[in-house]
Amino acid sequence: MNFKDLYKYIKPLVDIYFNKYFGEKKNFINEMIRILKIKAKEQSTNSTVDKNTCDIIYTIYYLSLFFVFLFLIIVILYLIYINTYFSFNATFAKMIKNQMRLEEIPEFNQLKNIIYITDNFSFDIWLIIFIIIIVIIIYFAYYFQYYLYIEDVYKELNILLPFLVVSLIVGFVYMIYNFNYLNLVSRRSNNLLKMIYNNINLNFINSQGICNYISKKNKFDDLFIAGKCNDLKYNFNQTKLYNYITDIMNTAYNKDNSLTLEKFKTLKDDNGILYTEKISSAFFTFVLIRYFIDNNLLNEAKDLFSTFNLVKMKLMPRLNPILYLNYESILFTSKNELIFNNNPNMQKAFNRNRDIYNYVYNDYYNKISLIQEIIVDIYNLCKYKMISVYDYYSFLGFVILCLIIYYFIIHYFKLTK
């Protein structure tokens, strides 16, 4: 097929969309600017102050409203496009990628935008913004049509405005349907964040040098980022867990050589942290890091265990770990590193005190079981209960596509007559 043959197919698209559609919109914008300037002069004649000053003020005011109106229309169309594209791309990626994070799946990615207020009230911030923008656009169109008596607005936007009204109605229906599920998943997600970060043992990470936060390995270490958890895979091993437990147990026995389980239960370090808490959180941190390494999520771990994320800042929300989980494997599992029987290293670390080990391990097991139960709840809610917000955007994207095709068909037959 040569260029001339190809041009025969391209020419109708250019004529209909570029020349006609965008040409009409250009004329509409120019005509609106002309009319708004006239309206500004009419308003200034009714004023008791300087007419020229009023004319300039009203002109700036009307034109500002109009250009904000156009900008918001572009924003709405852009938001529909990028969210529809993300949904389509994720669907396609599922078919070809061997591994995907929950963050890459629309049903779970929507967790990023949920704002937790109380246990019974949460909302999707971007959906709220989307709805508010639609309301503002409709109000501006109403203002131009019925307050400034500019009939060209409804005439020129006779397809867009009904589409926005439908988008608004469907958006409200979507929010009402999802309200309870959204609150539930937000509550679960908020509790999960607290539990995970409360049980990540930063002292274990720092004391054992598991993350390289400060210096490059050498001048060729271009992947190093200060403050991020660099070199995790190379610095991580089970020996460091045993060493950490050994240090704690040695300190405990130094405080009380006749240490018993009952005494250990209430024993605290100089910062008032229970020794049980320190070891059980080290267990959890070890298993969590192991999960990220085994699932080849090193870049995600680099961010999750960064100082910027682990050291809580008031103005910086922490990353949601569930979004980094492997779509095919969402549960944390340890190998044999945490067992006591037939594990001389663990026995030595606990000074062969099985009672203390059992107590600490049970504390860890109860916490990780609850954490994984919440993860499964969130997974089931997002996948099987809630309607993804990306489905809403995809529906709007599909409607726009149908309108584009409908517009082409109508005007194509007019051109060929």
Cα distances (angstroms) measured from residue 360 to each of 87, 130, 372: 44, 49, 18
Q: Which residue has the tokens 């989980």?
A: 325
Beta strands in 256-312 (DSSP E): none
pLDDT at 367 over 80: yes
Closest CA to 263 of 248, 271, 273, 252: 252
Q: How many CB atoms lie within 10 A of CB 300?
A: 19
Residue 405: pLDDT band (50, 70, 90) is confident
Residue 1, pLDDT > 60, answer no
pLDDT at 348 over 60: yes
* Most confident of the ranges 89-98, 100-109, 146-155: 100-109
In the chain, what are the domain boundaries?
A: 21-181+390-416, 199-386
Using 50, 70 and 90 to split pLDDT, how confident is the model at 389? very high
Does pLDDT of 51 surpass 70? no
How does residue 19 score in pLDDT terms, banded at 50, 70 and 90?
low
Sign of CA dihedral 86, 87, 92, 97: positive
Extract the tokens encoding 251: 């300190």
Query: What's the whole-number average pLDDT of the chain?
Result: 87
CA dihedral of 55, 59, 61, 66, whole degrees rounded to 10: 160
Q: How far apart are CA 243 and CA 249, in angstroms?
A: 10
Q: pTM of this prediction?
A: 0.86
**Is the pLDDT at 417 greater than 60, yes or no?**
no
Give Cβ neighbours of residue 240 (< 8 Å, ≥ 6 apart).
208, 209, 210
d(CA 239, CA 202): 17
Tell me the chain's radius of gyration from C-alpha atoms.
31
Q: Which of 402, 398, 405 is nearest to 80 (CA)?
A: 398
| Measured CA distances, 312 to 6, 22, 306 (Å) | 59, 50, 11
Count Cβ atoms within 10 A of the Cβ of residue 337 and give its class: 0-12 exposed, 13-18 middle, 19 or more buried: middle
Give the pLDDT confidence of 269-298 residue by residue, as tens digits: 888 899 999 999 999 999 999 999 989 999
**Which of 368, 364, 370, 367 minimizes the C-alpha distance to 245?**
364
Cα separation of 28 and 30, whole Å? 5
pLDDT of residue 15: 61
User: pLDDT higher for 242 or 18?
Assistant: 242
| DSSP conformation class of 16 | I
Alpha carbon 188 to chain centroid distance?
A: 16
Q: Could you read off the pLDDT of 111-154 as tens digits, one per residue?
A: 999 998 888 889 999 999 999 999 999 999 999 988 888 888 88
Predicted confidence band of residue 255 (pLDDT cuts 50, 70, 90): confident
- For the chain, the straight-line distance linking the first and the last C-alpha, in angstroms and rounded, comes to 26
Task: Output 222 or 253, whichever has higher pLDDT.
Answer: 253
Residue 406 has pLDDT above 90, yes or no: no
Q: What does the DSSP 8-state code read for residue 384?
A: I
